[in-house]
A = this chain, B = another copy of it.
């Protein structure tokens, strides 16, 4: 074990990270600083203070990062219409860079030389925490207990708790679930348990944030989302802060059975895993953002965005938020969002989030040109002949020289 003086731990207040506090203290004979953030996971963070104190922690950071999280991470990501592998809205991935940044900032403030987290050695989160850590403080030591210790089963963990008098009850709530879960303002995720069989359907009582489409109201809900610079700034005319937008959309989305997802995804560490996700607000946002872009973006920048998106998604999924390539892609994306403004009207009904109208003062939709009626010369149909003939020229030359088409 390397020499560590003080370590900042991403501390949830739950059983696992409480064990880690103790294990770090014991193993490295070092001071532990805990950092607990409210990023909208839906659990109180303040109770983590008493728990940390009980474990002998002297420097305790508890912070409400909800606004920063949505404003500086979720919103920029949604400007790119980001989806990983055609389905996943990156709810877990996008929270990690912020945690990593705060871990490092707190390390700098408290004079800590190491950071630690409770992610396992099989998943993506270890990568995201640590890449962020190294990118922001290259000499930092990283301690990933799950890759190091021998507490590899629930039983051993319990035995450790008993031995070290860590009160187990405070993790009761989470223990009710057979799933490994993670939550923040953008989503809640489920892995493990029966989900490890990709053929098995998820059980209805697993889902926590949304009702089923079957249980959703019989009447649709209509909402109007106002965009500026590619971000939602108001709902039904009411101006809201970024995290308030997402909270409100999560509520109305969840109520209408929107945003459940069940996929098999490819982890950065090389294996496939099956996950279920609830992303009610994000599902609505993505669709609405595409709708306002459909009116306000130029065709070629829109297509270029679509071509760059899978790479951007991969960069975030793999943990490279704090990288030059992410900044480079972000610069391209943000350049396009200046005129992405206007209002999108959506109908929410039993799992469906449907765009039914969109309008914008920045609209590039030109009714006088698009019309099926007389356009008074706005568009000269004869131009199409030259357009087609020159676009066909390379094909005509090739065919004329005997090139085959199969």
Is A152's CB within 8 Å of the partner chain B? yes
Interface size on A, residues (CB 8 A): 130
B398 and A356 form a contact (CB under 8 A): no
Copies of this polypeptide in the complex: 4
B370 and A138 form a contact (CB under 8 A): no
Which of A28-36, A45-53, A167-175, A195-203 contacts its partner? Answer: A195-203
Is A302's CB within 8 Å of the partner chain B? yes
A394 and B349 form a contact (CB under 8 A): no
Given contacts A294-B265, A391-B131, contact A213 B352 (CB under 8 A): yes
A356 and B390 form a contact (CB under 8 A): no
Which of A58-66, A245-253, A266-274 contacts its partner? Answer: A266-274
Nearest chain B CB to A63's CB is how many angstroms away? 20
What 6 pairs between A and B have smallest CB-CB spacing?
Answer: A386-B386, A121-B381, A270-B393, A266-B299, A383-B386, A332-B332
A180 and B372 form a contact (CB under 8 A): yes
Is A122's CB within 8 Å of the partner chain B? yes
Is A385's CB within 8 Å of the partner chain B? yes
Chain B residues with CB under 8 Å of A144's CB are 384-385
Q: Among B120, B265, B323, B399, which residue has its beta carbon within 8 angstroms of that of A135?
A: B399
Given contacts A350-B213, A405-B136, contact A294 B85 (CB under 8 A): yes
Chain B residues with CB under 8 Å of A85's CB are 290, 294, 302-303, 306
**Alpha-carbon gap, A92 to B355, bound state (A):** 21
Chain B residues with CB under 8 Å of A131's CB are 388, 391-392, 395
Nearest chain B CB to A317's CB is how many angstroms away? 10
Which of A19-27, A227-235, A307-315 contacts its partner? Answer: A307-315
Chain B residues with CB under 8 Å of A272's CB are 294-295, 299, 364-366, 370
Which of A4-12, A108-116, A158-166, A256-264 contacts its partner? Answer: A256-264
Nearest chain B CB to A146's CB is how many angstroms away? 7
Nearest chain B CB to A269's CB is how many angstroms away? 5
**Alpha-carbon gap, A311 to B332, bound state (A):** 14
Chain B residues with CB under 8 Å of A199's CB are 345, 357-359
Nearest chain B CB to A332's CB is how many angstroms away? 4
With contacts A85-B303, A272-B365 known, what are 11 further pairs, Cβ within 8 A?
A122-B384, A138-B395, A138-B396, A199-B358, A269-B390, A300-B323, A304-B329, A382-B386, A383-B390, A387-B387, A387-B389
Chain B residues with CB under 8 Å of A3's CB are none
B392 and A130 form a contact (CB under 8 A): yes
Most B CB within 10 A of own CB, among A130, A294, A386 = A386
A260 and B354 form a contact (CB under 8 A): yes
Nearest chain B CB to A179's CB is how many angstroms away? 9
Is A44's CB within 8 Å of the partner chain B? no
Is A87's CB within 8 Å of the partner chain B? yes
